[in-house]
Chain A
Amino acid sequence: MRAARVQFGGIVRQVSLSFVPEAELGDYVMVHVGFAISRVDSLEAERTYKLLEEMGALETELPPAEE
């Protein structure tokens, strides 16, 4: 069974690549109960984010977030 070391924030875990055999070194993967179930599509992730960021940038007059 092909496996990989996957970093989650600060922790590193051994993860099975049985369902994502195409994963390569440096990829971001979605992991569930020790199995990678998808390779995060970096283009899609960045595209969505850029779209969202543009929306955010248009809203500069919004009050700062309270916390």
Chain B
Amino acid sequence: MKYLDEYRDQRIARALASEITQRTTRPWVLMEICGGQTHTIMRYGLDELLPRGIELVHGPGCPVCVTPLETVDKAIALAGLPDVILVSYGDMLRVPGSSSDLLRAKALGADVRIAYSPTEAVKIARLTPDRKIVFLAIGFETTAPANAMAAWQAKREGLTNFSMLVSHVLVPPAIRALLLSSTNRVQGFIAPGHVCTVVGCKDYENLVRDFRIPIVVGGFEPVDILEAVLMLVRQLETGEAKLENQYARSVSYKGNVTAQEIMAEVFEVADQKWRGIGPIPQSGLRLRAEYASYDANRVFDLEEFSVDEPAECISAQVLQGLKKPTDCPAFGRRCTPENPLGAPMVSSEGACAAYYHYRRHAAAT
């Protein structure tokens, strides 16, 4: 397919890897933020093409993985109410809450439905006026405009049986938190191309300025990631720190202004808890007061509570790039995609799932 096959060309990937090897004189630790990029790296074995000195650590950019345990528990509780239809992205169904998951709730009779797009949840609300439809609106900036659009549509149509359980996270505050952490080893970032497609590059420019760290906005195909690594290595080897855009075929400096407008109309920035990481100030989105009647927390009068992560799961360290999934004693044994202990083993963007699908045989030998 055009614009995809070219970016999977092995000949070019190898040429880029060889260029990176020539340029690398010292070890460098680079982080790709997005789980989609982590999967490309594992699937194509890109880390093995790189010289020994280049270490790729995997970031927290898996929306399902960082959705708080409490949100999953709330969704399960709502799904159990007799008049509720809970609508969710498919990835969320197997994510463990503190004692169950949505798929199990569904098997026990809860009406849980999978949507590919948030507009499907609005459609269900329109067609089923005698039921209360709750959409589990999770995601990063890439998904926020689409989820915002669902609330906007529901409001415009005057639907009274639609609400959203919102758990939205923002990438730049998470990068800032990683860089401020005393355990940080990361020397350069590959910023998530689809997040930047929506919000543009300005926030990343601020991070480059504040921390004097190179950031390259990168795409998701093997050639994209290798080119982004090369751009980072060139900067690091010459002592530069600037923002570069490898993924210019989709990302502009300003981003998608139309999408930003609908996001700002419906959501406002708020403090947010990240599963495995904890609270990060001003790192999430919540519904604005004008949309309060679409907030499931309010509609169902849900109480705030706090639960502990399962002790055996090391996803907190995996999500911060401090440990690799294969460092976990439970990996591939007590924890598999069929029976996950933590969210990163479930999601198609989770680092543990990526290692499980593409590396578990290597890890076993």
Contacts and interface: CB of A to CB of B under 8 A. Distances in A.
Q: Is the interface of B mostly helix, strand, loop or mixed?
A: helix
Contacts of B34: none
A52 B15 CA distance: 8
Contacts of A56: 9, 11-12, 14-15
Interface string A12-51: 0000101111000000101011110110111011001100
Given A33-B118, A35-B146, A48-B227, 8 more contacts: A8-B1, A16-B119, A28-B2, A35-B117, A37-B145, A37-B256, A44-B248, A58-B15
A25 B250 CA distance: 18
A64 B241 CA distance: 35
Interface string B1-21: 111001101111011101100
Contacts of B16: 52, 55
Contact of A32 (B3, B6, B14, B142): B142
A44 B3 CA distance: 11
Nearest first, the 4 A-B pairs at minimum CB distance are A34-B117, A45-B249, A19-B259, A65-B10
Interface residues of A, number: 31
B167 interface: no
Nearest to A52: B12
A34 B3 contact: no
B12 A18 contact: no
B297 to A, nearest CB: 22
B241 to A, nearest CB: 23
Given A19-B258, A62-B18, A48 B249 contact: yes
B305 interface: no
Nearest to A34: B117
B89 A30 contact: no
Contacts of A18: 149, 258, 262
Contact of A65 (B14, B146, B248): B14
Interface string B185-221: 0000000001001100000000000000000000000
A46 B227 CA distance: 15
